[in-house]
Amino acid sequence: MKKMIQPNENGLFAIHQVADITGLSKQVIRKWEERYGIIQPKRMDNGYRIYSQQDVKTILKMKLLSEQGHSPKHAALLVKEFTEEPEVSIQKEKSPYYEQWNEYVFQLLEKGRHCDEIELNFILKQAYHHVGLEQFLTNIVAPFLKEIGKKWENQEWNEYQESVSSLVVRDFLVQIRRNYQYRENAPFVLGACLPYEQHEVPLHLVLLRFMMKGWKTQLIGTSPALGAIESLVTKLKPDVVLLSATTTLPFETDSQLLRRLDQFAEKQIDIAFYLGGQGAVTNLLDYKPKAIIVTNSLEGILK
């Protein structure tokens, strides 16, 4: 694991440290400073540049916007606009780049790049307590996971970087749910990935939104056996069962899976079954269930 980059006693970084943090060359960093004026680093007595943590965040914002297809000139204008009038930019214009500009997202991306689990946990905890659960999920966790996916697909991050960052987020979300206090008569929702489905973080996010509405939640682990899902539903008698398939792998592996689940759901007359995820929507062409509602919208379920 790569050693964590630390600032000096004044909280400042040398240019080679900034280059390591951002993945940019020293030449590009100097060019952005001189040509676009996005930062004004201080100078030491020997003339060497030293950068504040805010300077580093600004450079990371510029880099991300450039990666999204903006020219350096336009990216610099967007960064300056947000830095100078963040509240006006967000509230009046509803900038599509707001979620990407969240400071916590940039900090998480930096620590995730170095696979620093301790710092990732610290930032998640700090963000959660600072903005509250709803904003934490919407403006920090979701954008961070989205960027992890992009970096993995673009081969900017390797499997270890992607795995560490995703697992830290998952474990943190589990901790939030486990520590939540429920009312005695709270409605109960049981969540489960389908067999052969490994992507459980999207389901954690959905269950947390139920939790914020006063529901008791429980999640079956990744890729459970079909019999395990049926057994727990029969035993726990939840009000709602949420099934998730982010990929089409469950249906490709077992072509009769959805049909059997649907037949089981038909027998549970007091339990509502929902199935979500892109994999489930794609699979509707092969079989349309009778008792399971396929949806990617929470609004109807939570009413």
pLDDT at position 87? 38
Whether the CB-CB separation of 79 and 36 falls below 8 Å is answered with: no
pLDDT reading at 92 higher than 50: no
The domain 102-179 is placed in CATH, from the list 1.10.3720.10, 1.10.1240.10, 3.50.50.60, 1.10.150.240, at: 1.10.1240.10
Cα distance between residue 123 and residue 108, in whole Å: 7
Q: What is the pLDDT of residue 262?
A: 94
Q: What does the pLDDT read at residue 302? A: 63
d(CA 161, CA 113): 6
Q: Which amino acid is at 134?
A: E
Q: What is the pTM of this model?
A: 0.64
Q: What is the mean pLDDT of residues 220-248?
A: 91
In the chain the first and final C-alpha atoms are separated, in Å, by 47
pLDDT at 295 over 90: no
Q: What's the CATH class of domain 1-96?
A: mainly alpha
The DSSP code for 114 is T
Give the pLDDT score at 97.
39
Choice between 302 and 134, residue whose per-residue pLDDT is larger? 134
Note the pLDDT of residue 303.
58
pLDDT number for residue 9? 65
Q: What is the pLDDT of residues 191-206, one digit of tens each?
A: 999 999 888 888 888 8
Q: What are phi and psi of 180, to 5 degrees?
A: -80, 140
Does 238 score more than 90 pLDDT? yes
What superfamily does domain 184-302 belong to in CATH?
Cobalamin-binding domain (3.40.50.280)
pLDDT score for 89:
34
Q: For residue 146, name the pLDDT band (cuts at 50, 70, 90).
A: confident
Rounded to 10 deg, the angle between the 26-36 and 53-67 helix axes is 90
Taking residue 102's Cβ as centre, other Cβ atoms within 10 Å add up to: 19
Over residues 162-190, mean pLDDT: 90
pLDDT confidence of 221, banded at 50, 70, 90? confident
pLDDT, position 173 = 92
What pLDDT, on a 0 to 100 scale, did the predictor assign at position 63? 84
pLDDT at res. 59: 87
Which of residues 297 and 162 earns the better pLDDT score? 162
Q: Which of 250, 253, 256 is nearest to 281 (CA)?
A: 250
Domain boundaries, the chain: 1-96, 102-179, 184-302
pLDDT of 217 reads 92
Query: Picking from 206-220, 255-269, 289-303, which range would have the lowest pLDDT averaged per residue?
Result: 289-303
- Please say if the pLDDT value at position 7 is more than 70: no
Band the pLDDT of 94: cuts 50, 70, 90.
Answer: very low
Q: What is the pLDDT of residues 250-282, one digit of tens each?
A: 988 998 999 999 999 999 999 999 998 877 777
Q: How confident is the model at residue 22 (pLDDT cuts 50, 70, 90)?
A: confident
| Average confidence (pLDDT) over 110-128 | 90
59, with CB counted inside 10 A (0-12, 13-18, 19+), is: buried
- Cα–Cα distance, 303 to 293 (Å, whole number): 15
Predicted local distance difference test score (pLDDT) of residue 5? 56
Q: Hey, how many other C-beta atoms are within 10 angstroms of the C-beta on 75?
A: 23
Q: With beta carbons less than 8 A apart as the criterion, state whether 210 and 241 touch.
A: no
- CA 286 to each of CA 192, 249, 273, 282, 291: distance values in angstroms, whole numbers, following the listed order: 22, 14, 19, 9, 16
